[in-house]
Every structure is written in C-alpha cells, then in structure tokens.
Chains A and B, each alone.
Chain A
C-alpha cells in the first residue's frame, strides 16, 4: 500500500436495529483462533506501513456475520449476561512538572465485584524512557502496549534514534482507531522523555489522543482530578510531586 493512513470505518456506527440470531458455534472449536499471529510481511511494507496497518486478516476477529458489532450483539442477545460488562475499576493519573513526569496507578484488577488481583502492574515500561499506563481491559491494554514496545524498538533499530513520545502515542492511537467500534477497552497514558523534553499523552480506545500536562484515567479519575487540581504546581519538588501522586 502506498497511500497514507489506512482508514477503516465500522460497517455501522450506530447500534444494530435488529439483531440476527447469533451464531456462537465457533466457540465449540476454539482452534480457529490459534492461527493468525500478527503476520509480519516486512518485505511488502515500509516502516510506517508495518506500524500503521496491522493486517486485520491475520488478527482473528469473531467469525460471525458482523464482527464489528460483535460485542454489542452479545450484550443485547442475553446469551451470556455480564460477559461484555468490562469494569473500569482503576485509577491512574499522571502529570508533568518541572523535573519530569509523575505517573501514579493503583494496583487492583476487578471483574465486577470480584477482585482479581491486588498486585497488578498497571504501568508498562515500553522502553527505558517511555511508560504506558493501563486502565480498562487489562488484556487489551497489556497486549497493545507490548505491541507498541515492539514497534518502538523497530523504530530505534531502523532509524538509530529513539522514537519521540508524540510518534509512539500516535502509533498507539492509530491502532485504536483502526479497531474503533470493535470493543477494545483501553484508556492509557503514554509518558516519556524525548528531544522536546517530557511529554504526556492520553490515548484511549476510541482513537482519541491528547497532549496535556495532567491526566487521570479510570473510574477513580474524578476524585484524582480533584486532588490534582487543588495541589498541582509546575515548580514543585520531586518529593512533593511524589507525595501528590500518592495522595
């Protein structure tokens, strides 16, 4: 492909009007999901194309008639109540100040009212100068951020230069945009240092990407914003900043 960003629109943005009978027979043979790794056909694609277009054919979507609306359909059908109710029981926050960036996250993973783990690592080290946070679906966040880590490393090897935070967050945002409407659930912050200094970007599963000085993502974010807004000062010391994050 030579053209620029490959834009994919879901078949129907709005909710389906009538849901056809859902054929969930594929569940009886989960082997169909085993093939289809991220086929990397580096020869045919350029640097940017490899990063931009994850070949959807190689990433198994639900083999139903309308994969784009799969999550919505399952929820409406009532076959598996609660299956698609992803809970966002997370608080993550980050802010930029004079000396750098503070990222603070909680460490609980919940599925409804069941607490899955109290020791989840919600901060991913994309590389030694880039961090990503996870809020939303743990699998989605963790997979795609590790994929981002791979893309960042490839960029470094190809260009002999570290990737900028702007570019890294944009790669992630473009991936999310490609899967927009298909049920990914991920609110992440990409933070790091590059030639332009410290930067903080908020990227979420709808493909939104914002650059900012203070962000909080997750169900506890309103509370976090409250605390942050009251005590944030760009020139505070490292100790104060850490304390603010902890609070």
Chain B
C-alpha cells in the first residue's frame, strides 16, 4: 500500500511522504547560502548556466519582500513565485493594518504557516520550496530565517539549502562561521561556501548584502570577480604551503 498518494495521509511509521518528496525537490534546486554577520546579512545564490538564447537577467533568485526584507529560495521557481507573492501581499496588508513594517519573524512565520497549510488540505500539494529570509530586528540586529516545505521556520547564524551537495556546504559553514563577522568577511565566507558546490566565476553566483536601514545591495560582477580571485589565490597559497610543509616533513623523515 503506497502512502504517498494523498498527502493528508500519514504512513504507518509517521512519515508524510509528500512533504519529504518536496524536500527532495528542494535539494535539486540551485544552491543558496546565507551568512549572518555582526551588522549585515549576506545571501548568496548559485546561478545555473543558462541556455544560449536565454536572457540571464530575467532569472532572479533573490527577491525583495519589503523594505529591508529579502528572500532567496531553493526549489521550484514557480512555487516560489506564488509564495513570494503571497508574502508580499501579507507584508503590505500588515503595513496597512498596523501602520508599521512587519518584523522578519512575522514574515518568516507567515511564509511557514502558508507552507504548512498546504500540507494539511485536500487537493493541494506542498510547495517545493525552501526559503532563506534576511532582515533585521527592531533592535538593528541582523537576522536570517529558514523555512522548509513542511512549514517549519527557524533562525540561523548561517545555512545552505539546495545545490549539488547541501551537507558539504553546511559542514563548511559550521567549521568556518565565527561570531561578529564584519561585512567583508561575511561576504567572503558566503563566496567560499558557494565555491564548494559551484564552479568558480562571478557569472555563476549572485550575492545580496543587507544592512540595517539601507536598501539591499546586489554585488556587481566586477566586485565579485575580485573577491573570487582573492579567495582562489588564498587557496593556492595555502596549498603551496601545505605542499612545502609536507616536503620538509618528508626530508626530515628520511634522516
């Protein structure tokens, strides 16, 4: 008896298969990395190679939800479009009713609630989207939220979704994230993390940097090239040093 037909049905061992399949769909999406710094949040996305005739500028994986609220998603683009539209409407509705900007927690919760409601109704399927939302709290502290197709949401210091190897990037971030990163360091960490699964080159990634009270800044290609070149040079030098050290160790061993 297959338990993945109607999504409202639990399997005997407590799985909602449709939801888990949705998460698989997310893994097939292109990578997104988010890093929270001391006073900034960086979102980096993988830009998959486009067909020759396609206009690459029309593919935007980073979207603006509201002033100071940015979202990047991994998974089905079409589902994400619908979800983002709902979120934008909710943000404006909140502004109309409460005469104030919605907090990032409110927006993340709303998106998560929407995703959850599509796992508990007949005739619909879950959104095949995980999203990363960057923004700031009222006390100006930076914040990064993650939502998934099951409808859970939580705040993170750094995380990665989608891409060839989600786990590897997450482990990289765990090893290398430190508290109180300056903006430039947060950017470097994001790029390094993306380079784990993305081919090098500024045309393969896009970075968005948020600071409190300022519009989100998408890094220009030239800027990105400089950073990537710098990082690669660093990696080269580290390799040379390691090779040199092992050679020295080798010679000492012989004696």
- Chain A positions within 8 Å of B, measured between CB atoms, are 2-5, 43, 46-48, 51-52, 158-161, 163-164, 166-167, 170-171, 174, 195
Determine the interface band of chain B, counting residues with CB < 8 A from chain A: 10 to 19
Are B99 and A170 in contact, CB atoms less than 8 angstroms apart?
Answer: yes
Q: Which chain B residues in 90-111 approach chain A with CB under 8 Å?
A: 90, 92-94, 96-100, 103, 105-106, 109-110
Are A171 and B97 in contact, CB atoms less than 8 angstroms apart?
Answer: yes
State whether A46 and B110 are in contact (beta carbons under 8 Å apart), knowing that A4-B96, A174-B97 are contacts in the complex. Answer: yes
Interface on chain B toward A: helix, strand, loop, or mixed SS?
A: helix
Are B93 and A4 in contact, CB atoms less than 8 angstroms apart?
Answer: yes
Alpha-carbon distance A195/B97, docked complex (angstroms): 17
The answer to whether the Cβ of B226 comes within 8 Å of any Cβ in the partner chain is: no
Q: Which residues of chain A come closer than 8 Å to B106, judged between CB atoms?
A: 47, 159
Are A167 and B93 in contact, CB atoms less than 8 angstroms apart?
Answer: no
The answer to whether the Cβ of B243 comes within 8 Å of any Cβ in the partner chain is: no
State whether A170 and B98 are in contact (beta carbons under 8 Å apart), knowing that A46-B110, A159-B106 are contacts in the complex. Answer: yes
List the B residue with the shortest CB-CB distance to A169.
B99
Are A166 and B99 in contact, CB atoms less than 8 angstroms apart?
Answer: yes
Are B99 and A48 in contact, CB atoms less than 8 angstroms apart?
Answer: no
Q: Which residues of chain A come closer than 8 Å to B100, judged between CB atoms?
A: 164, 166-167
Q: Which residues of chain A come closer than 8 Å to B89, judged between CB atoms?
A: 2-4
Alpha-carbon distance A171/B86, docked complex (angstroms): 21
Are B99 and A5 in contact, CB atoms less than 8 angstroms apart?
Answer: no
Alpha-carbon distance A47/B103, docked complex (angstroms): 14
Q: Which residues of chain B come closer than 8 Å to A2, judged between CB atoms?
A: 86, 89
Residue B94 contacts which of A48, A166, A174 (CB distance < 8 angstroms)?
A48
List the A residue with the shortest CB-CB distance to B105.
A159
Q: Which residues of chain A come closer than 8 Å to B94, judged between CB atoms?
A: 48
Closest chain-A Cβ to B91's Cβ sits at a distance in Å of: 11
Closest chain-B Cβ to A195's Cβ sits at a distance in Å of: 8
Alpha-carbon distance A51/B96, docked complex (angstroms): 13
The answer to whether the Cβ of B64 comes within 8 Å of any Cβ in the partner chain is: no
Are B99 and A159 in contact, CB atoms less than 8 angstroms apart?
Answer: no
The answer to whether the Cβ of B164 comes within 8 Å of any Cβ in the partner chain is: no
Q: Which residues of chain B come closer than 8 Å to A174, judged between CB atoms?
A: 97
The answer to whether the Cβ of B188 comes within 8 Å of any Cβ in the partner chain is: no
Residue B96 contacts which of A5, A160, A161, A163 (CB distance < 8 angstroms)?
A5
Q: Which residues of chain B come closer than 8 Å to A163, judged between CB atoms?
A: 98
State whether A164 and B97 are in contact (beta carbons under 8 Å apart), knowing that A2-B86, A2-B89, A4-B89 are contacts in the complex. Answer: no
State whether A167 and B103 are in contact (beta carbons under 8 Å apart), knowing that A2-B86, A46-B90, A48-B90 are contacts in the complex. Answer: no
Residue B113 contacts which of A46, A159, A161, A171 (CB distance < 8 angstroms)?
A46
Q: Binary interface profile of B, 107-121, with partner A (CB < 8 Å = 1, else 0)?
A: 001100100010000
Are A167 and B98 in contact, CB atoms less than 8 angstroms apart?
Answer: yes
List the B residue with the shortest CB-CB distance to A161.
B103
Q: Which residues of chain B come closer than 8 Å to A47, judged between CB atoms?
A: 106, 110
Alpha-carbon distance A149/B97, docked complex (angstroms): 16
List the A residue with the shortest CB-CB distance to B113.
A46
Are B90 and A159 in contact, CB atoms less than 8 angstroms apart?
Answer: no
Q: Binary interface profile of B, 75-99, with partner A (CB < 8 Å = 1, else 0)?
A: 0000000000010011011101111
State whether A52 and B103 are in contact (beta carbons under 8 Å apart), knowing that A4-B89, A46-B113 are contacts in the complex. Answer: no
B89, B97, B110, B113 — most chain A CB neighbours (10 Å): B97
Are B97 and A52 in contact, CB atoms less than 8 angstroms apart?
Answer: yes
A–B pairs, 30, beta carbons within 8 Å: A2-B86, A4-B89, A4-B92, A4-B93, A4-B96, A46-B90, A46-B110, A48-B90, A48-B93, A48-B94, A48-B97, A51-B97, A52-B97, A158-B109, A159-B103, A159-B105, A159-B106, A160-B105, A161-B103, A163-B98, A164-B98, A164-B99, A166-B98, A166-B100, A167-B99, A167-B100, A170-B97, A170-B99, A174-B97, A195-B138
Residue B97 contacts which of A5, A43, A159 (CB distance < 8 angstroms)?
A5
Closest chain-B Cβ to A210's Cβ sits at a distance in Å of: 13
Alpha-carbon distance A171/B93, docked complex (angstroms): 12
Alpha-carbon distance A25/B106, docked complex (angstroms): 48
List the B residue with the shortest CB-CB distance to A196.
B100
List the A residue with the shortest CB-CB distance to B98.
A167
Closest chain-A Cβ to B131's Cβ sits at a distance in Å of: 17
Alpha-carbon distance A43/B117, docked complex (angstroms): 8
Are A167 and B97 in contact, CB atoms less than 8 angstroms apart?
Answer: yes
Alpha-carbon distance A167/B94, docked complex (angstroms): 9
Alpha-carbon distance A47/B117, docked complex (angstroms): 14
Q: Which residues of chain B come closer than 8 Å to A43, judged between CB atoms?
A: 117
List the A residue with the shortest CB-CB distance to B99.
A166
Closest chain-B Cβ to A171's Cβ sits at a distance in Å of: 7
Q: Which residues of chain A come closer than 8 Å to B90, judged between CB atoms?
A: 46, 48
Alpha-carbon distance A228/B36, docked complex (angstroms): 53
